[in-house]
Amino acid sequence: MTEDPAVRRSDGTFPEVRGFFDPATATWTYVVWGAGDKNCAVIDSVLDYDAAAGRTSTASADRVLHFIAGRDLRVEWILETHIHADHLTAARYIKSKTGGRTAISRHILDVLKTWEPVFGNAGATPDNAFPMDGSQFDHLFEDDETFGIGALAARIIHTPGHTPADTSYIMNNAAFVGDAMFLPDVGAGRCDFPGGSAADSYASTRKLIALPDATRMYVGHDYPPATRDPCCMATVAEQKQGNIRAAAAISMADFIARRKEADRGKPVPELLLPSLQVNLRAGDVGDALIIPVNKI
């Protein structure tokens, strides 16, 4: 996990943001807090997972926690932009270490319904069944709900398409958009998972580029070409002008056609099965789900 030096350059506006990049899953985790404030939110944390060994570890999450402790910040919220299919969330671990509240969009209820027949609770013990009412999270956000991170005002907007439950978190001039949009030269998230919709994704990109031009859009992943290092942020103005899939000038028909073409035959994410099983449980790694090698 590396930090993006660009994020460290504060331009004096708030909120303050620190990004941590996990090269194994190309995921950006963020810590966000209001200038002069001590309360913070952690967005889209990563629990490291060695698929060959079936073993989780916490080096990435510990690095985030080390930063938080070093800044004397207090974790108030542990937020997910959606149920990830490519990495395990460290939400439960971070909650256990900090006492922060885990939260996600109420639309997760649709995602639970979609996946329950696949992963099921049949045969699960009460300890490792996943609740269908979303109570594995401390809070489910309604669309357009507002909340506070200390004195920093935040609101959510529903930005589905990649999954039905994708949510973007807006905090003053920063927007944490998960996989609804990527950096301009990468585009936007795939829409071929169950419940995904290219039409919804297009509508979500229109919501995001309607934010003020100076809004800093922080993305959930980066898949940089060989010519640049991973980055995490582009302004709305830059996205409107130059996003290869979702610039302002791109029509819905073009967006959908190109999305479907790009998603055709896309490989299943390597960590799809363990990710969904853990993330649908808000990061609870049950013993019955993943058996570490040292327990065999």
- Residues forming contacts to Fe ion in the complex (CB under 5 A) are 84, 179
CB of 36 to Fe ion, least distance (A): 33
* Cα separation, 44 vs 50, whole angstroms: 19
Handedness of CA 223, 227, 230, 235 (dihedral sign): negative
When the beta carbons of 37 and 190 are compared against Fe ion, the nearer one is 190
CB of 111 to Fe ion, least distance (A): 11
When the beta carbons of 98 and 275 are compared against Fe ion, the nearer one is 275
CB of 94 to Fe ion, least distance (A): 19
CB atoms within 10 A of CB 27: 22
CB of 70 to Fe ion, least distance (A): 29
CB of 188 to Fe ion, least distance (A): 11
Helix, coil or strand: residue 292: coil
Residue pair 89/45 in contact (Cβ under 8 Å)? The answer is yes
- Tokens 């992943």 belong to residue: 221
Three state DSSP letters for 161-228: CCCCCCEEEEECCEEECCCCCCCCCCCCCCCCCCCCCHHHHHHHHHHHHCCCCCCEEECCECCCCCCC
Reported as type and span, the H/E element at residue 102 is strand 101-105
Q: Of how many residues is the chain composed?
A: 296
Q: Which position's Cβ is nearest Fe ion?
A: 179
CB of 163 to Fe ion, least distance (A): 7
When the beta carbons of 34 and 162 are compared against Fe ion, the nearer one is 162
Residue pair 133/16 in contact (Cβ under 8 Å)? The answer is no
When the beta carbons of 239 and 279 are compared against Fe ion, the nearer one is 279
CB of 206 to Fe ion, least distance (A): 20
Burial 143-170 (b: 16+ CB within 10 A, else e): eebebebbebebebbbbbbbbbbbbbbb
When the beta carbons of 84 and 240 are compared against Fe ion, the nearer one is 84
CB of 189 to Fe ion, least distance (A): 6
When the beta carbons of 4 and 179 are compared against Fe ion, the nearer one is 179
Task: Tell me the Ramachandran region of residue 178: left when phi exceeds 0, alpha when psi lies from -120 to 50, beta otherwise.
Answer: left
* Cα separation, 235 vs 261, whole angstroms: 27
When the beta carbons of 84 and 106 are compared against Fe ion, the nearer one is 84
When the beta carbons of 78 and 219 are compared against Fe ion, the nearer one is 219
